[in-house]
Each structure stands twice: as C-alpha cells, then as structure tokens.
Chain A
C-alpha cells in the first residue's frame, strides 16, 4: 500500500487542478468534463459501464493470450535460423504497421459483429512486440554460456529450452507488458466497429456529447490496462526473482 502511495499524488493533483479549472470557467465543461461529473457518471451508470468493462476485458484478455502464445511461438520459430528470419520477419513487421482503424471494418466482414472481431483486433495490434522481444531475447544469449552448452554436447533443443529461452524471459516479459496495453486499445477499436463493450459506450456517448461518460469509459479502460500490467509484473516477479537483477531490489 505504501508503495502505491506515490502513484496517487499525481492523480490527486491532476483531479484537483481539472476540477478547479472547470469550476472557475477556464475550461469549458462541454470540452473537458469536471472529474466530479465523471465520478457521478461512474456511479449513476455503473451497471452499463461495468457490464461493458467485463466484455472489453474478455476481448482484450483473449486477444492478449493469443498474442502471448502465438508471439512467443513465432519468436522461437524465427530464432531457429537466419534463413527463416529473412524469409518471415518482414511479414511479422506487417502486424506492427497495420493501421488497425483502417482494417477494422474488414474484420467485421471476415469475423462478423461481436466478440470474434474484437479478439482479432486486440490480437493484431498486440502480437508484434511479443515476437520482436522474444526473438531479440533468444538471439542475445550469452556466447560464453552457449559455448559451454556446445562443449558439453547439448542438443539444439536442450540449448533452446534450458538456456536460450529462460535467458530470454526478461525480454519476453517486456514484450508482454507492451502487448497488454496494446491489447486493450485493440479491443476498444474492434468494439467501435464490432459493437459491444466500452468501445460501444464511447461511440454512443460521443454522439450524445456526453464527454463525462466518454471519460468514465476511458478511465475504466485504463484501469483494465493497469490490471493487465500488474498481472504481468507479478508473473515477471515469480519467474525472475531467483536470478535476474531487474526483480531483485
């Protein structure tokens, strides 16, 4: 709890400042809602907002899980030879550069309205950092340790699973941290088009000029991103505590 305290200070400052600026009339309430109005909306519309949050969570988590599994698998595959890397890596970069807003309408046509489109969108935007970080991690194995494995006659698969993959874990986890936030964004973009969850709430609230509700939904989306981030940090702590400096403070 004491560790979380510093994070609350900027939050409180921003909330108090915004509230005062809006109340003083420096910022127009129809452009930026006062935090008190956002809070009121959170309470008044909680059933709708939290129901939407649950849907968005499912979509984002499913997309993230697919990215984690698929991204690590592809990263490992690409690390197997430089020929494979040259042949396939450029296509992996496609996922990083694809403008999700532009292809989201196509996702609806391919996957239909609803959850599948949302998951696909979350997956597409979040897989690349996992691939890239897994690959870099595996390729940066300590050469001295690799020589040691060769000296003892370890098979390539033993070298991969006993040395290179574990040594790549810190970077893979970094990839997952980035992917977590992106999956939430991807899910909400998918929901704009696919029609459910927080994305749909934002879309409708925007049409109705309910900036307070837009902010309430965005706040919940960022809480979801934060929760995902916290979960990966926990995972990282468990996996790396015994041997990696980043988790030994």
Chain B
C-alpha cells in the first residue's frame, strides 16, 4: 500500500509534465512486420531534413497497427487498405496518407511440379495455408469453394512445410517467399491475389483523423519525407538494405537486394504513393459485398492526398 502510494506520488509530476508538453518528443511510426525491403522507403527517409524526429517501431505477426493509431499509442502506422475500411466502419477514424505498394504483393505460391494453371486449380486438392480472416480468402471460398482443399493457417514466412510437401500451397508476398523457395531448389509457381480482381493498397502510411486535424503541417512533412525516402530507395537500395540487415539479420544481404528489385513494379506505377477515390470505392464495394462491412465508408474520408 505504502509502496504504491509512493509510486503514485512519483508518477504524478511526470504525468503533469507530459500533459503540459502536449507534443511527445518523438513521432512514432508502427510497422506491421520486421524491417525488410517492404519498408525500404521508410528506412531510407531523411526525416530530420523535414524537421521530424521519427522512431520506426518494428512489428511482428498480428501487430494491431490500425488499433494502435486509433488508440494514439502510435502517431503513424503501416496498414493495409482493407484494414482501414474495417476500422472506419467500427468508429476508428484512421486516414491513409501514402500507399507504398500500388499493387498488392499478396499471392499464393505452389510447387511448379503440380502444373497448376490458375488459382482455381489450387483449390482442387492438397493443402492451402492462408490467413482465413483476410477478405481475399473469403472471395476465394465464395468463388471456388473449399470442398476439395484442406485450408490451414498461414505459417508466415516459414517455408519448412512447403519445402517438404509438394501438395502444400501457401500465402506469400510474391516478392519474397517465392525467391527464397527457389533458392532452396524448388520450382515455384506464383498466383498474385490481384488476379482475383482484389487489389488493396498495401503498406500504407496512415494516421488518425484527429492527429491529422491537429498537426496538418507535420503530416504534410511526414508524407514528403516518406515519398523522398521511397524515391531514394528505388534508385539505390543498397545503403538502406545494409541498415535494415543490421536490424533484421534473419535474411541475407543478397535476398534484400533481390526483393528490393522484385518489388519495384508493384511500387512504381506513377506518382509514388498516390491514391485514387475510384480504387477506394472499388475496395469498399468488394468488402460490402462480402459482408465484412455493413456499409461503404465515403471514399473521400479514407485517404488524404498530400
């Protein structure tokens, strides 16, 4: 009792100081995975040049970045476009600012030896490891049915089962896991999920509507820094890759270089990071049809072009 009171007394002035400050010294950017080329532009960005002190927070499987933004435990976060729509219909006012991947890198990879022609063939037998909670999984199920395939949870980036079981297909980033599997000597056939007509913006920089309203200039600077960062990373990924490899050595330097090259076409399609109302509307309509959201949020509220 005595101890807790003493702790409380110590904390009170600290809390007061925080409240008086108003603005925390560091701006946090929560990532939804470990440092890797997918975040190259964010690690390449020169935030200081724009007067920003930004701390990148690496995440892991299931890091709830969209909720972190809404709760204010991170000023910025990396999310996917479909997450944002789900969040908005639940009253979590999150706004997209910059879409690093204009085309979704999500895909399914299977052994080449199976001679599969299309995604539909994938569902005719064997095992399919996917994140069943993702909308594309239900699009697959609605379109083709899961009656002939065994659906199991995605093992993330772990390839062990895939390498050992020819009939095993798994969700992947088309830019990453297939390259690793090929390095292990396996012939891989990749089916991008965008072939299903489902193509959400991915690796999207977002903040809360509230933060945007209170710090419009800061947010504009943030987006400018990120855009320059991606430009720099696309032009010369080597220095940033070295930095990220230091933070996440689980992948070898050659893979960093290879993935950075492979992901370019998904990123560089026009003005870097730019989003359109039409694509947000399409995505919202798809999610509504799936029954994931009760009504489509106004596309104009979902993103801000800065």
Contacts and interface: CB of A to CB of B under 8 A. Distances in A.
A15 B91 CA distance: 22
Given A105-B158, A109-B161, A208-B133, A203 B91 contact: no
Interface string B115-130: 0000000000001000
How many interface residues does chain B have, given as a range? 20 to 34
A78 interface: no
B37 to A, nearest CB: 23
Contact of B90 (A29, A105, A192, A206): A29
Q: Describe B's contact surface by its main secondary structure.
A: mixed
A203 B153 contact: yes
A108 B91 CA distance: 38
Q: Say whether chain A's binding surface is mostly helix, strand, loop, or mixed.
A: helix
Contact of A113 (B64, B131, B150, B158): B150
Given A105-B158, A113-B152, A195-B153, A31 B133 contact: no
Interface residues of A, number: 20
A203 B161 contact: no
Interface string B145-167: 00000111101001011001000
A108 B155 contact: yes
Nearest to A207: B133
Interface stretch (B11-19, B65-73, B195-203, B236-244): B65-73
Contacts of A195: 151-153
Contacts of A29: 90-91
B228 interface: no
Interface string B18-62: 000000000000000000000000000000000000000000001
Contacts of A206: 62, 64, 133
Contacts of B193: none
B133 A204 contact: yes
Interface string B76-113: 00000001001100111000000000000000000000
Contacts of B292: 208
Interface of B: 62, 64, 66-67, 70-71, 83, 86-87, 90-92, 127, 131-134, 150-153, 155, 158, 160-161, 164, 292
Interface of A: 28-31, 105, 108-109, 113, 192-195, 200, 203-209
